[in-house]
Structure 1
């Protein structure tokens, strides 16, 4: 049932954190509001935040000056999901500066994958079209798809693709292929039940030829749990991940095109340090 009336503090925090960085239909479903209601409330919120009191929100074009590193990171998560008007609204910046950064990214090329880029791919792959991931990471679409296969990442059933006119002459925007979600066979379910408590989800996904997200979703549906020993191993792995991140994660604005690992702006559905939007980390439930 859809909600009506006043917004709670928690709802407003979620809206502030994820509007423009998550597909609108997905965010509206989670908030149990209509898409139009979510859009109008977001406009009101961001206009109040960025527009000086003496200016008319309808004519305010955004703050001038170059984007800060944090804003560039936020923008990365918006490409492919948000139009230019939404980017301006969320960042409170002028469209010309946003377009300048987008064109800069469209010309970048990365040879090697950084850890930060892989972290970004895990967070964003399921809900972004491949052309957008290719642009913000600087890797060819074929390289994006190959890395996704290596990590057993999967697309959501319906991937939003919002094109940007400024990129038409600079980025090859390919239609996103339909997502194929084969049914689980009895043999696959039996194997999942047998191995899930002890093995990492990525290993299970590779052995079954499925995405990690599919493995996690099916395990949740079946009520499967990790064993105590596996949970202890996961705890140690998470400590190592936190230590590695604290020791020098690549900045989102680096010359290599690396994207910083997902914080609140990423829209990652994290339930633990190794958990992300793809479900490529592991869950206890």
Structure 2
């Protein structure tokens, strides 16, 4: 397997039509590449692995697996496994296969059309995943995500989050920057530290804790729930055409003496709206 001395982070450029991509980013002084047949007993997979090109030049590793047209039966498939220094940037294109990253990458641009995406940590992330489940532990930068029909779970975004989805539910943990989501499914956010704009057609919207900025939530056929923490005042404009608006904040929660203020603009057509005090975080 090709091995290159890389005492510092590099750029990864990987293109695979059918097969999985696995990257381990760690404190390593070298980069190791292994392109293997997904099914070693299948001649087509073996020959395709041999046709893959691997180049390293000027701090950039390029791996290209040629595309094969298979009209009948399973397509030829190879898996790409890479060990690289932590902080390396990545551009990955995978048509049919999963993408998995262990460790911390730098800024990344990933397209996985039909496959599961599992990332431990990246810098700023641009991700397209039309038909695959997405699990990301930590984005140390801005997130730009286009998804489709599977569940999305992003535990933490230290930056802005711009998400365009379709029918897969969206779960966000904490987001430090502005959030902008357009989808037809349900979405939940554990903690939003800045402004939030969400529009969905058929799924519930739940923001467990919002600490400032302007929150604009629009829903068609499900409910809206927002939690406002103690010490944060709320300016509220909420209405539902065929549902009930319930505000559990007390008059004492007004802006006088509050540390922060959040503006809530909430609209639902056929669902209830609930505004309440956020539950305090549990001590470890």
TM > 0.5 between the two? no
Q: Which is richer in strand?
A: 2
Larger Rg: 2
**Larger RCO: Structure 1 or Structure 2 (Cα < 8 Å, ≥ 6 residues apart)?**
1
Q: TM-score, normalised by structure 1?
A: 0.23
